[in-house]
Structure 1
Amino acid sequence: MTESSPTTPVRLLAWWRFDDPARAEVDDASGNGHTMVPHGGPTWTAGGKFGGGYALDGATQWFSTTDPVVRSDRSLSVAAWVRLDSARTGPTPALPDDWYAVTAVSQNGPSHTPFYLGVRLIDDPVHSKTNYSIRWNFTAAPVDGSETGPVEWCHAFSRQVIQPSELDRWVLLVGVYDLDAGFVRLYVPGNDDAGETRLPDGWPSWRAEGGVQLGQARFRDDVSDQWPGSIGAVRIYSGVLTAADAASLYAEDKLAGE
Structure 2
Amino acid sequence: MAGSPGIPRKPWFSGQLAEYPGAAPTGTTAAFADTVSLGTVTDTAAHRWNLDDTTGTTATDRAGGLPATLTAPAAWTNDPDRDTVLNLTGTTGYAATGGPGVDTSTGFTVSAWVRLASLSGGNSTFVSQSDTPAVGAANGFQLYYSSGAGVWAFGRHDDDTTSTSFTAAYGAKAVAGKWTHLVGVYDAGTGRLLLYVNGHLSATKAFSAADWNAAGPVQFGRRLYQGTYGEYADGRLSDVRLYPTALPPADAAAPGGNATLTQLD
Consecutive unaligned residues of structure 2, counting only runs of 5 or more, are 1-42
The structure having more radius of gyration, on CA atoms, is 2
Kindly tell me: are residues 180 and 55 of structure 1, through their superposed partners in 2, closer, same or farther at Cα, counting changes over 3 Å? same
Is residue 18–residue 51 contact of structure 1 (8 Å, CA) maintained in 2?
no
Q: Which has the higher contact order (CA 8 A, sep 6+)?
A: 1
What TM-score do the two structures reach when normalised by structure 1?
A: 0.76
The within-5 A match list for 1:103-182 is 103-109=125-131, 110-121=136-147, 132-147=148-163, 152-158=165-171, 160-162=172-174, 166-182=175-191
Q: Which amino acid aligns with 2:231?
A: D
Cα offsets for 1:120-175 (capped at 9, x unmatched) = 14xxxxxxxxxx52110000211154446xxx5211121x322xxx2111111100
Root-mean-square deviation (CA, aligned residues, Å) is: 2.3
What is the CA-CA distance between 1:114 and the residue it aligns to? 1.3
What is the CA distance between 1:216 and its match in structure 2?
0.2
The equivalences for 1:1-258 within 5 A come to: 11-30=44-63, 32-46=64-78, 52-85=84-117, 89=118, 93-96=119-122, 101-109=123-131, 110-121=136-147, 132-147=148-163, 152-158=165-171, 160-162=172-174, 166-189=175-198, 192=200, 194-200=202-208, 203-248=209-254, 250-252=256-258, 253-255=261-263
Identify, as 1 or 2, the structure richer in strand.
Answer: 2
User: Could you say what secondary structure the match of 2:252 adopts?
Assistant: helix
Change (3 A) 1:24 1:41: same
Percentage identity across paired residues of the two chains: 26
Change (3 A) 1:241 1:75: same
Quick one: distance in 2 between partners of 1:217 and 1:44? Answer: 20
* Secondary structure, aligned partner of 1:18: coil
How far, CA to CA, are the matches of 1:185 and 1:47 in structure 2? 29
Kindly tell me the number of residue pairs found equivalent between the two proteins: 217
Q: Give the Cα–Cα distance (whole angstroms) in 2 for the partners of residues 38 and 48 of structure 1.
A: 22
Name the TM-score, length of structure 2 as normaliser: 0.74
> Which ranges of structure 1 fall in alignment gaps of 5 or more residues?
1-9, 122-131
